Amino acid sequence: MIPYGRQDIQQSDIDAVIEVLNSNFLTQGPKVTEFEKAVAHYCHTKYGVAVNSATSALHIACMALDLGTSDWLWTTPITFVASANCALYCNAQVDFVDIDPITYNISIAALEAKLEQAQIDNQLPKIVIPVHLAGQSCDMQKIYELSQRYGFKIIEDASHAIGGSYQNKKIGSCQYSDITVFSFHPVKIITTGEGGMAMTNDPKIAAKFMLLRSHGITRDKSLINHDNEPWYYEQHELGYNYRMTDIAAALGASQLTRLDEYVAQRHAIAHRYNEALADLPLTLPYQADVSHSSYHLYIIRLNLQEIELSRLEVFNQLRDAGISVNVHYIPVHTQPYYKDNFGFQKGDFVNSEKYYAEAISLPMYPTLKDSEQDYIIEQIKRILD
């Protein structure tokens, strides 16, 4: 089977991990600090705080922005469930904003309309989480302008998007947000096995992240009152064990050196798909001028009126041909947990649901061979013609 995404592990990655295994630190130690500094340097952000997943990063991001009971968090339905679940971890309430039918990112028009209504209802969100679907940035400047008008905070879920940019600045720079979150799961752009990072330019938020990822405990002598007791630590918050290991960080730091190469390879693959699939009854991924995507995913939409097969049939035929396509994502509001507990229904976000009914993610990863891609293209043509 050709997978839809996969990691690239080279000898230098293996060597970096072995070096840590032979060192004194296995869990959070010098490699974590090195990796954090390298990502912050890459993105031109002041702080990066590494944790054991993007899900954990989203959770402590919400906590650092004081999300709590009776607060609202809004995100898009076309995302992984973690972008919404983080609000529920904080006992806050979740709502969704429909997608833009062209970019599949959160719709600015829908966001603006919903904010207007929420102001009337006195239910404005405390946090909005735009998700950079497939690696293409949301229109962050517009979202930032709305945040100034309506007073909400912004966490960018950039789980797909490290290595991408917006207005010629790297995603993660937090130019138009309070916090940006990356994922280093193996299908993402670079990997640490499991892992994530929360980026910010605010020293208070960064300090909060460091407390929250390790039980809320500090050993910082300037923050505690026991000068003459060298063993002393204090718990100041209810935190978690969300630490990244030095083993994972060494892998991440090694992978980061190839990030730009990976993004360039992904663009070359996208370019070949664009050329080869142009005349088929498909909608190919739209790319906005202000954004340079990391191309985590290559999503096609089937023009179902022109195709005799259903999405399921196209999907199954590709799978039968040994091509492990995927679908990103089942709209979060249609998940049983969200329907049963919060009353969301099918029909609530029509553009998201229409997109979902037509979308297929084709294999996209740097080591996909030309011959494999040619085979994928040939099979799509065979199935759709």
The yes or no reply on residue 157 touching ligand PLP (CB under 6 A) is: yes
Q: Which stretch binds ligand PLP (CB under 6 A): 50-58, 105-113, 216-224, 316-324?
A: 50-58
What are the DSSP calls for 351-385, one per residue?
HHHHHHHHEEEEP--TT--HHHHHHHHHHHHHHH-
- Residue 360: CA count within 13 A, CB half-sphere: 23
Structural element, H or E, at residue 178:
none
> Can you list the positions of beta strands (E) in the chain?
47-51, 72-75, 93-96, 127-129, 153-157, 165-166, 169-170, 179-183, 196-200, 217-218, 234-235, 282-283, 291-292, 298-302, 359-362
From candidates 28, 76, 79, 254, binder to ligand PLP by CB under 6 A: 79
From candidates 114, 126, 185, 243, binder to ligand PLP by CB under 6 A: 185
What are the DSSP calls for 88-147, one per residue?
HHTT-EEEE-PBPTTT-SBPHHHHHHHHHHHHHTT---SEEE-B-GGGPPP-HHHHHHHH
Residues in 314-353 that interact with ligand PLP by CB under 6 A: none
**Closer CB to ligand PLP, residue 84 or residue 383?**
84
Q: Which stretch binds ligand PLP (CB under 6 A): 75-83, 117-125, 204-212, 281-289?
A: 75-83
**Closer CB to ligand PLP, residue 80 or residue 356?**
80
Q: Which amino acid type is present at position 182?
A: F
Q: At what angle do helices 11-21 and 246-256 cross, to 10 degrees?
A: 150
Cβ 126 to ligand PLP shortest distance, Å: 19
Residues in 195-224 that interact with ligand PLP by CB under 6 A: 196
The yes or no reply on residue 131 touching ligand PLP (CB under 6 A) is: yes
Reading phi first (left if > 0) and then psi (alpha if -120 to 50, else beta), residue 20 is in alpha
Structural element, H or E, at residue 207:
helix 203-212
The yes or no reply on residue 192 touching ligand PLP (CB under 6 A) is: no
**Closer CB to ligand PLP, residue 7 or residue 218?**
7
Going from the C-alpha of 96 to that of each of 200, 203, 338, the distances in angstroms are: 24, 30, 11
Cβ 62 to ligand PLP shortest distance, Å: 13
Site of tokens 């469930």: 81
Cβ 213 to ligand PLP shortest distance, Å: 14
Cβ 148 to ligand PLP shortest distance, Å: 25
Peptide bond into 329 cis (omega under 30): yes
What is the CA 148 to chain-centroid distance, rounded?
Answer: 24
The yes or no reply on residue 75 touching ligand PLP (CB under 6 A) is: no
The yes or no reply on residue 55 touching ligand PLP (CB under 6 A) is: yes
The yes or no reply on residue 162 touching ligand PLP (CB under 6 A) is: no
Cβ 299 to ligand PLP shortest distance, Å: 13
> Measuring CA to CA, which residue among 293, 190, 348 is closest to residue 284?
293
**Closer CB to ligand PLP, residue 77 or residue 125?**
77
Q: Which stretch binds ligand PLP (CB under 6 A): 17-25, 77-85, 262-270, 283-291?
A: 77-85
The yes or no reply on residue 244 touching ligand PLP (CB under 6 A) is: no
The yes or no reply on residue 83 touching ligand PLP (CB under 6 A) is: yes
- Positions that interact with ligand PLP (CB under 6 A): 53-55, 79-80, 82-83, 131, 157, 159-160, 183, 185, 196
